[in-house]
Structure 1
């Protein structure tokens, strides 16, 4: 019998199986008023999916920091469990990069889309492929899976537990110390800063982020546009 998954204090787990999507389940539970800190997860043989419920007490524009917070928590967790040569980076839009190739993504939904309002709930979900979808990796050179990148000894339950612990640590730092430590950590992990990117139909040089992690995109004319992180919100 496998060992039970242990979450840190103030967090609890709910396992789902088969085709059930933890993100959809977490959003439904949040809408019904479940406690913050619930982690819904589905540990399939080839995919790890999970979602974390938050109850923000700040406007949505600030609460969206939980998206990069969860990404940093995952990078820290995998960094502690994987071989040291495995590199993990974060795209602004929630995608994850392992050794340069895309390997899963984060997504986010909230009860309200008004950046100035405090939402009743916010859910951040993650999906990480463990095994490649194809036996021929050359078919998708920009996509990979965790176990194809030297992480075959990283067990999904241990990774889930570590993600919860490291994410909670960064939530506490964000609450006590403000956004500065989060920004400093994220800058060291961000993918494509200083490079040409296309986001929300706009192309330019990714210059970094503002205080609320909005993308600063400089176009060919030298004009810098702000793309708020709230534009990544999914709608029910």
Structure 2
């Protein structure tokens, strides 16, 4: 039976709840603006793409709350690691990109009620877009891009991956609240893509040294100076 043949309505852990939506990102943002409870997971289990968005209600400033982006990404790696073949390598780009066996495979986005790093947002939304099937049947047409089922993960059903992602993400939120950011730093660093290499991010090129305490990107430029790009620079437009 195909991974997409059997209907399955996702179930979510306590404190999280799901709502199917044709456009999960917009749906989550609009529900957040309307004052929905945190923990909403809007999702669309399409034939070729999994899309989902989680609503958060931060009680810290945007600069600190933006850590939800790498936190959700680590939760995703944990989820796919638990469900997929053991040889599948999942790595995380600082700006939200996902690498599956070194090829690009979806990404995370971040949205909030404010773009002021010193303000406490009324809400924050982290979204996930994950291609399940390749863009084209022609091998080599998009050599840098891949999809979940093209990488040997055909036994990973999208609803189960969504459920697992929500559970692992909630576990990391609790860890962040109880133990601080250090465990998340350690987990993320072991998954980070291209640390120590030259990268170009948001128009800035340099050697990727790592991240600061709030996961701001540290780049060393050609002159040896270190530049900091905060996570808040990744905020996307809010309706």
Q: Which residue of 2 aligns with 1:109?
A: 111
1:38-64 alpha-carbon deviations (Å, 9 max, x no partner)? 000000111000000000000000000
Matches within 5 A, 1:144-163: 144-163=146-165
Structure 2 unaligned spans of 5+: 1-5
1:138 is paired with a residue whose SS is: coil
Q: Which residue of 1 aligns with 2:216?
A: 214
2:14 to 9, 16, 24: 9
Q: Which residue of 1 aligns with 2:102?
A: 100
* Residue 235 of structure 1, CA deviation: 1.8
1:52 is paired with a residue whose SS is: strand
- Alpha-carbon distance between aligned partners in 1 of 2:95 and 2:23, rounded to the nearest angstrom: 20
Matches within 5 A, 1:27-176: 27-176=29-178
- Alpha-carbon distance between aligned partners in 2 of 1:137 and 1:86, rounded to the nearest angstrom: 20
- Alpha-carbon distance between aligned partners in 2 of 1:141 and 1:121, rounded to the nearest angstrom: 37
- Alpha-carbon distance between aligned partners in 2 of 1:92 and 1:23, rounded to the nearest angstrom: 20
1:63-117 alpha-carbon deviations (Å, 9 max, x no partner)? 0000001000000000000000000000000000000000000001000011011
1:24 to 10, 23, 26: 26
Q: Which residue of 1 aligns with 2:201?
A: 199
- Alpha-carbon distance between aligned partners in 1 of 2:139 and 2:108, rounded to the nearest angstrom: 22
- Alpha-carbon distance between aligned partners in 1 of 2:202 and 2:87, rounded to the nearest angstrom: 33
1:137 touches 1:144 (CA, 8 Å); kept in 2?
no
> How many pairs were matched up?
233
2:185 is paired with a residue whose SS is: helix
Structure 1 unaligned spans of 5+: none
Q: Which residue of 1 aligns with 2:3?
A: none
1:104-159 alpha-carbon deviations (Å, 9 max, x no partner)? 00001000011011000000000000000100130111100000000001000000
1:225 to 204, 224, 227: 227
Q: Which runs of 4+ in 1 moved over 2 A?
A: 1-4
1:24-47 alpha-carbon deviations (Å, 9 max, x no partner)? 110011011000000000001110
- Alpha-carbon distance between aligned partners in 2 of 1:145 and 1:215, rounded to the nearest angstrom: 27
2:140 is paired with a residue whose SS is: helix
**CA RMSD, 1 decimal:** 0.8
